Structure 1
Amino acid sequence: MRRRRLLAAVAAAGVAGCVGDGTGGTDGDTTDTETATDSPTETPTGEPTDSPTETATETPTETPTDTPTETPSETDAPTVTYTATDPVERAVLTRLGDCTAEDGGTATVARDGDTVRATGCIQGPSGCSEAAIRETAYDDGANRLDVVVETVETADICTQQLVYRRYRAEIEVAGASLDRVRVSHADGSGGSTVVAETDV
């Protein structure tokens, strides 16, 4: 009888021991430790593109190729006054500088009341040549004013070259009927050539 009770007690203890262990258990408390998984870092597939740097471009300054030729003011232009004979009361010539060969030997005439203005371009033989009035005459039979323009040398030593000088001759006529004006250019031989003749 004792043997059976002992075996039963041993058997019961064995069963109790199996129940106390638990299936797959470990002695004492166990703590599950979670391992943090880092999120994958995205790697850019392309390299960043640098913004282009603007380079300032200097605009070249234009340099004029032609130098404008200054024309002297008529108020500063030299004038020559001549002794007048009746019916011419006043004769003045203004030198207006150079003109072109194409304009050489030409003149235009205009009248303003008793004043006649002849503007022309005359050829001279040297660099010192300047325009001048040689003669003014009135033809009372034709009621015509004749004006002869020439060139004079203004220095002793001059360059020998043809020049062209522009002039304006102003002749004031009073006390006579004036219907026509004739302008002539003198040449080096003492003669002259008519360059303009018109009714006024």
Structure 2
Amino acid sequence: MFRSTLFRRATMVLASAAVACTLSTSPASAQPLPDAARGIGELQALAAEMSPVASNAVNQLLGASVFVPKDVLELGLTTPQDFMYPSPTLGCGVADEPATVTLASAQAGPNLFPPITAGQLRFQAIPAYVAIPQSSDLSVAWINLNTFQGGIVKLDDRLPIINTPLLSKIVDTGAGTVLGTMFGTVSYPGDVNCTVVPTVGTFTS
């Protein structure tokens, strides 16, 4: 939807190259290839079942292994790690503009508030649109480059009592370097629907 066929093919080539570079840094005796191929294949298959947008986002994610993760404090108070760039967000904006951006980050544990344990990441998004979200299918696809485990999760945390979407989710990613991509839609009062174009990032869990 958001990428041409040529771009999708180029992204898949980049993904293959990125995975090859990652695997080439491992000792030969470790033999990581079977687990890596399985984890990546399962993530791609899961995305394909969801939608073309999810597939595009995952392909973009797998091509992002050249990114450098930010340092994380481990004193019970961690610093959110930003995605690489604000996500263009279509269909809503400020002062009648047709678009805005969404800021996204991931926060690692151990962290006191919000409570995040070691081996977890809390993905969170903040659209630059002044209104209270009504519904959301905002999602994050992720893969841990150390374990080659991954998945696709909805940021479906909700504020108690008033049941408002918080656009966040704590995910058991395991310790390691985690690639993530965020995508989806957020709906607001007045039939306003914001489409979040995929953004990507690398995080230390």
TM range (shorter): under 0.3
Q: Give the TM-score, by structure 2 length.
A: 0.27
| Structure number with higher strand proportion | 1
Larger Rg: 1
Q: Give the TM-score, by structure 1 length.
A: 0.27
For CA contacts below 8 A with separation 6 or more, give which structure has more relative contact order: 2
